[in-house]
Amino acid sequence: MNGDRQGYASGKLPRIYPDGKAHDWTLEYSPTEANGKGQITVTLDKQSVKLILSDGHKAAGSRFDRFGLITTWVDGNGQTIYFDDLTYTWKQE
């Protein structure tokens, strides 16, 4: 299996609106969830969405090495995002 691989969560996705409010969020990768396929869970203000990795992602040697933040705006205006009070944890399986 070659090439870039992507996945998309479905259902009601969490949103951040440009209202200046602070938000709590988490991003968790669990390689043994979903019968060993692996799962990514994102939580924003207590609303969670899960992405189960597709067959072959782990076998292809895929790495979870980044994530993105996108905006629904298409008018070309930039946004400034601040990250504060970050905590990073990891556990090698």
Residue 15: pLDDT over 70:
yes
Which region, left, alpha or beta, applies to residue 81 given φ > 0 means left and ψ of -120 to 50 means alpha? beta
pLDDT digits (tens, 9 = 90+) for 28-67: 888 889 998 888 898 999 999 998 888 877 777 766 666 6
Is residue 38 within 8 Å of residue 53, measured between CB atoms? yes
Question: What pLDDT, on the 0 to 100 scale, is given for residue 72?
Answer: 61
